[in-house]
Structure 1
Amino acid sequence: MSKDNIPTFQSEELSLNNAEIPTLDTQTANQLLNNVFNACDMDPSSIPVEVLESWGNYKKPSFSLGRFLAYIFTILLVLLPLMFIHPTIIAERKNVKSATNAVYDIELKTLLPIRDASADLDGRPIALTKTGSHSYSAEITQNGTLTITAASVNGQTVTRTYQVSHLDTDKPELVNSYSQDGIVYLEILDTFSGIDYDHITGITPESVNTDTGVIAFRIPDNPTTVTIPDNAGNELTLLLSPVN
């Protein structure tokens, strides 16, 4: 065979492959099916071709629906663990040595968005300041039990409690007093933060003893109010009067 005949043969083969197969009518299709059964020495088909076609058309949407349901089931199976994930609360006090207030940094660790976060101290609501997407800050001025609650969008809720202590909320206490030679001596006790001697008002002290807490004042000629604060801002108010 010459090279000139090869392209012609390939072109004819391509045209046969691209030729459209004519559509058979129902009667011809049934006859063709019976001929196939006869050639195989089998009994003729008792099911018409149109019935087989309608069954195939019925199975196509059923298969698509089954595949769609399988996809939905797979997605739900993947998302199911997320329905039971609850947030984790981590709270840490920043100013541990402060006797005035306690500032807590609160972080909520979770894979899902937070629906709600709240805090209370012995049942009294505490304001939370949002510092990040999952972080808050709370300032406490009283001793007690701090309760923090967080709820995720999946409905899971978690609660943690912290004990707030060592906050000085009590004013200084007058333990003893006596006078001598025109001087009155006051023994003042403050357990937590200590006396703020530099901010005593009313009368300037004659002397102070930081070891014993004794403050000496000259007895005034007229009744005078003296205010003695502690380092947490609590104040003891006394009225000093002249001695007759």
Structure 2
Amino acid sequence: MNYRMLVQYDGTRYAGWQRQPMGKDTIQGKLEAALGRMTGERIEISGAGRTDAGVHARGQVANVHLPEGYSAEGVRDYLNCYLPEDICVTEMSEVSERFHSRLNAGAKTYLYRISTNTTKNVFERKYIYDLDETLDVGRMKMAADYLIGEHDFQGFCAKKIKKSTIRKLYSVEFRELPGELQISYRGSGFLYHMVRILTGTLIEVGKYERTPESVQEVLRARERAKAGYTAPAKGLCLMRVEY
């Protein structure tokens, strides 16, 4: 049977979603280890997004094929009993054998949180980027408008890849709260560190370190060096995957 699960996790102490060698703790690794104990077999799961080290998720989607005889509710309860307290399976359901969490995904939404307050929030320190500077959000919105649509985002990717770097960015939305700026990115898919580089670039625009129009040059040149810095992982969270 093929099962779809909705997973949330605090990525602070993990080396990202994807299983890695040398015994590094990852979200995929923890899930597979728990499922392996349950079934007595080697289990592999697929995730919709390979979040980086330190990145969080509220709406990660994964799927796994398990032997007959397990109920979705029973698997969910078993996982939540044996997973670490910073990982939780909030939903579990049986799906078509053809469902694949990554290949069938139509859109993903990431949220990046930036603290613009000069006083740090101790209890939010793992989930927000303490920039502690005032940003010109109007300029950031102007820059973001140039990014909407289908583009080659190679310049906003942290490494050269052989596959296509063309992605479609459906929206970039800004929400201003007291002492905090939230940026929500919804797109067809995202490249390695793409959201964090986009955020770093928009921050530089908001700090008057580059012009809003400069993002067009990054898109044209397809060169990482022309984009902004990579914002820290802790401010980023995968919110939703659409099918």
Which TM bucket (shorter chain)? under 0.3
Question: What TM-score do you get using the length of structure 1 for normalisation?
Answer: 0.23
Between Structure 1 and Structure 2, which shows a larger proportion of strand residues?
1
Structure showing greater radius of gyration is: 1
